[in-house]
Structure 1
Amino acid sequence: MATKVELANQTGADGMRLLLAVYSKEAPPWLRNVPAVEILRRIWIQEFRDEEGRVRWRTSQEQPASSARLVSPYDEDARVGVKRDTQWDGFKVHLAETCDDGEPHLITDVATTPAPGSDYGVLPIVHEGLVERGLLPAEHLVDAGYMSADVVVAAKRDHNVEMVGPMMPGTSWQKSGEGTIPVSAFTIDWDNETITCPQGKISKRWAHEVDKGGREVIRVQFARKDCTPCPVRPQCTRASIPRRRITLRVREQYEVLQQARTNQDSPEWKARYQACQGIEGTIAQAVNRFMARRSRYRGTAKTHLQHLLTAAAINLTRIDAWLMGVPLAPTRTSHFAALAA
């Protein structure tokens, strides 16, 4: 590792000397406008630091965020993406398809986005594209990565589309611990802007604020004199100042979130959501038969064109299979599931 860092520092110093020469007064001004020189400058800024004449390779913590960090000198749009244990350089493709019984399952929308970032912001773009083509569904099944209270509310408000998908569970320790007191155990009075705890105490503060993500939230706080002597305080709060604090989404988003989490535990919801599993087969078909994970081109626009052509090829293949009476392939059963059956 020491040899690797030493080599990187030497490479950084060599590149820095080249850039200083290019940007010196003696160098021809047109050199600075060469695209390759600008790419070199941006990469060296993000990868190296000049500390009083000594060039040092930046640590991962010192580098820019993944949304701004260049990963290739040949493609300014490519970024690094991470999903669980998988990491890749490039872009992300989002596919929407029909799933009606007795009809061919056809791709209706293709969105190409930067690799990093969440998927929440993609759905409004997808819905606008479907509106333009007259293909907007009444019900849209998506996986958990696309679901949020904001998405559900916006889809219903803007396009009258009902979103169906699993909501992410709450992450507070009170939600996951046994014998603890989660927010659902409190009674919320939205009209009077108060919350009553299971011990009958009423909150003392209710304030509308904006969180770090730019979302409107409600901060609720109980009085210290009520929480300090409470017999169940260890199951309710671990705060150094003994009083419970609760952060809520605004009423519409909060109620949508709670209703969705309740619905997704029912057998009816699970049977309804099974149709969404077909998109996994579409992704597998795109990857295994149409090489969707490899782009022949550079840049967002050309990569998106490839995604569109891939989707068109998949649709033609599926239409041909449907006309020829070829049935849909059954869902693959794993060896473990077969043994357990």
Structure 2
Amino acid sequence: MLKDHSQLKLSLSPYQEIYDAVIPANHLLRKIKENIDFSFVNPMLRKQYCENFGRPAKEPEMMFKLLFLKKLFDLSDETLISSAQTDMAYKFFLDLEPEAKMIDPSLLTKFRKNRITEDILEELLKETIRQALDKGLIKSGTIIVDSTHTNASVRAKSPTQILRDMSKQLRKEIYKNAFDLSEKFPEKPSLEAGLEEEIAYTKNLLKALEEGIAACGSGKIQELAREMKELLEDEKIRDIRSKDDKDARFGHKTPTSTFYGYKNHLAMTEERLIAGISVTHGGAPDGQELPGLIEKVQETGIEVTEVIGDMAYVSDDNLEACGEGITLIARTNTAVAAAANGKLEEGFCYNKDAGMLQCPAGELAMRVEKRTAKNGNTYLRYVFSKVKCRKCPLRESCRVGRGKSKERSYSITQASEKNLERLKFEESEYFRERMKIRHRIEEKNGELKEAHGLRRADSRGLFAMELQMYITAFVANVKRITRLTEPVMQ
């Protein structure tokens, strides 16, 4: 049950003046409290509580402020509550009396799991942008987009190892609590067995024990069997790398290094305020998230006129999503750029009369194969005579002659007119100047990871990662609004 906290409360504590004595005017939490209005929290979360039944709940605003402090200072639940009991700045920020007792840390877990939903996370982020707009802090329609990865809270395993560990755990529990069922165990596969063999064994194990598990009365054994059955029925079983976190996936940081976890796709204003977020598994491509990010930023009330990002965001779909009203400032894929700047190797040339490619020895290609790619480029493959290439005295120094394939060919990529226009725009002075501010989102990513714990997931599952990302972004935005407001108030 949620009490009505709409009326102002009068503090009767004899120690209230201690806050003025021990918390300086320039303390971060005092400045945040003076500049950020948290009164929106209670009305936003009211629908998550029963109006008339149950024990009186702790005020949502106070609970949310505790989550805010947790991310602001990157603390565990236990450390946060312990610090809040004795730190007067924390209690001042929480609107508590100096002698007030703090809640049990377990209430924070219940609040996160039972009161916060995906739509509330979006509203929380929008609220920071609304307050920034009301203060006149957002002056441009430019957003900078990028993604940053977060490592999962669990260790990755192969699907074979996951099944093997689960079946081993089930057998162990049966030996302890239902020994008679152990006589029905099928023969285990060898340690060198692959995924298909492990799947077949697990299915046979569950089938042989089905009736016995239902009648054994052990809740732990039944729960393990249920989890194994669900995993076997999952169509993505070959992609799963943890039985505890089925949403995390492998992704690439560089061509040679990988991570296991999630990607946080961010859209940040030129003033360094995060206005749009999309959280995906680690293997998701960056570019596909751009239309959704633009839409989320527009829903906050910002009129997007320009998007700045890296080459992952340049595609026909994204250019179409931007339309004529939004300028996309991002480098074109290197393959497209190479096609536009491509030159024939020394000795090769076009014979305009024959309309065919000519090799250094003066021989013409026999035919040309042509295809058009999705990016608009045209790919030409000129095929030369294999017999002539073998006899040619220049074959050792010729790209075509040295070839070991069945056909001797020379491939050329021709950039489309649309791509050529795009590349010309990327050479402009305006484009180069605007790209200079892209580093700001890299700095923001570093802040989120180093100062607020985004380097590693707090919990398991996609929604848990969304919760962590949105609360972290809320904290970063509040800090930024407070910083931007300071000069205005002087």
Does 2:396 align with 1:220? Answer: no
Seen in structure 2, the aligned counterparts of structure 1 residues 304 and 170 have a Cα distance that, compared at 3 Å, is same
The yes-or-no answer on 1:285 pairing with 2:457 is: no
Contact 1:138 1:161 in 2 (8 A): yes
Q: How does 1:142-291 map to 2 (within 5 A)?
A: 142-144=309-311, 146-157=312-323, 160-170=325-335, 180=345, 205=368, 207-208=370-371, 218-222=378-382, 224=384, 234=398, 240=405, 241-247=407-413, 251=416, 255-256=418-419, 258-264=420-426, 268-291=430-453
Q: CA deviation at 1:177?
A: 10
Asked if structure 2 preserves the Cα contact closer than 8 Å seen for 1:180 and 1:236, the reply is no
Q: Partner of 2:267: helix, strand, or coil?
A: strand
Query: Which one-letter code corresponds to 1:27 in the other structure?
Result: E
Quick check: 1:95–1:111 contact (8 Å CA) kept in 2? yes
Instruction: Please give the alpha-carbon distance, in whole angstroms, between the structure 2 residues aligned to 1:138 and 1:172.
Output: 25
Query: Match for residue 88 of structure 1?
Result: 259
Deviations 1:259-310 (A, max 9, x none): 4445545655332211111001110111111111232232212321221111
Matched, 1:120 2:287: yes
| Preserved contact between residue 358 and residue 365 of structure 2 (Cα < 8 Å) | no
Taking structure 1 as reference, are residues 34 and 278 closer, same or farther at Cα in structure 2, changes over 3 Å only? same
Larger Rg: 2
Question: 2:61: which partner in 1?
Answer: none
Residue in structure 1 matching 2:458, options 284, 296, 307: 296
Residue of structure 2 in register with 1:4 after alignment = none
CA deviations on 1:244-265 (whole Å, 9 max, x unpaired) are: 334557x46xx32x44445545
The answer (yes or no) to whether the contact 2:272–2:444 under 8 Å persists in 1 is no
* Match among 49, 70, 82 for residue 240 of structure 2: 70
Q: Which is worse superposed, 304-313 or 20-29?
A: 20-29
Of the three residues 312, 315, 322, the one matched with 2:477 is: 315
1:22 maps to amino acid:
L
C-alpha deviation, 1:126, in angstroms: 1.3
**Which gives a bigger RCO, structure 1 or 2 (Cα 8 Å, sep 6+)?**
2
Q: Which has the higher helix share?
A: 2
Please give the root-mean-square deviation of Cα atoms over the aligned residues, in Å. 4.8
The CA deviation at 1:315 is: 0.7
Q: Which runs of 5+ in 1 are unaligned?
A: 1-7, 47-63, 188-194, 327-341
Q: Secondary structure at the match of 1:82?
A: strand
- The one-letter amino acid of 1:71's match is R
Structure 2: segments with no counterpart, 5+ residues:
1-160, 170-187, 189-200, 215-221
Mean CA deviation greater in 167-176 or 313-322: 167-176
Maintained 8 Å contact 1:220/1:247: yes
Q: Kindly indicate which of the two structures has a greater share of residues assigned to strand.
A: 1
Equivalent pair of 2:248/2:281 in contact (CA under 8 Å):
yes
Q: 1:152 to 1:260 in 2, by over 3 A?
A: farther
Q: Contact 1:220/1:246 (CA < 8 Å) preserved in 2?
A: yes
The question of whether the paired residues in 2 share the 8 Å contact of 1:141 and 1:276 is answered with: yes
Aligned length: 276
Q: Is the 8 A contact 2:369 2:382 kept in 1?
A: no
What's the CA shift for 1:18? Answer: 6.2
SS state at 1:88 partner: strand
Could you tell me which of 287, 297, 306 is aligned with 2:468?
A: 306
From 202, 226, 229, the counterpart of 1:38: 229
Q: Partners in 1 of 2:350 and 2:476 — Cα distance? A: 50
Moved more, 81-90 or 15-24: 15-24
Amino acid at match of 2:485: L
Q: Select 1:27's aligned residue among 204, 211, 217.
A: 211
Answer with 23-32 or 298-307: which moved more: 23-32
Deviations 1:181-220 (A, max 9, x none): 7xxx989xxxxxxx8769998996565567xxx7776443
Cα contact 1:39–1:73 (8 A) shared by 2:
no
Residues 236/266 of structure 1: CA separation in 2 closer, same or farther (3 Å cut):
farther
Q: 2:297 aligns with which of 124, 130, 140?
A: 130
- Match of 2:334, SS? coil
Q: 1:247 to 1:151 in 2, by over 3 A?
A: same
Does structure 2 conserve the Cα–Cα contact (< 8 Å) formed by 1:96 and 1:109?
A: yes
Distance 1:150 1:288, change over 3 A: same
Structure 1 residue 152: Cα displacement: 4.7
Task: Give the Cα–Cα distance (whole angstroms) in 2 for the partners of residues 196 and 160 of structure 1.
Answer: 43
Letter in 2 for 1:291: G
Determine if contact 1:141/1:273 at 8 Å carries over to the other structure: yes
Native 8 Å contact 1:217 1:248 kept in 2: yes
Instruction: Give the letter for the 2:320 counterpart.
Output: A
Classify 1:238/1:276 alpha carbon distance in 2 versus 1 (closer, same or farther; 3 Å). farther
Q: 1:95 to 1:172 in 2, by over 3 A?
A: closer
* CA distance in 2: counterparts of 1:173 and 1:272, whole angstroms: 23
Change (3 A) 1:310 1:25: closer
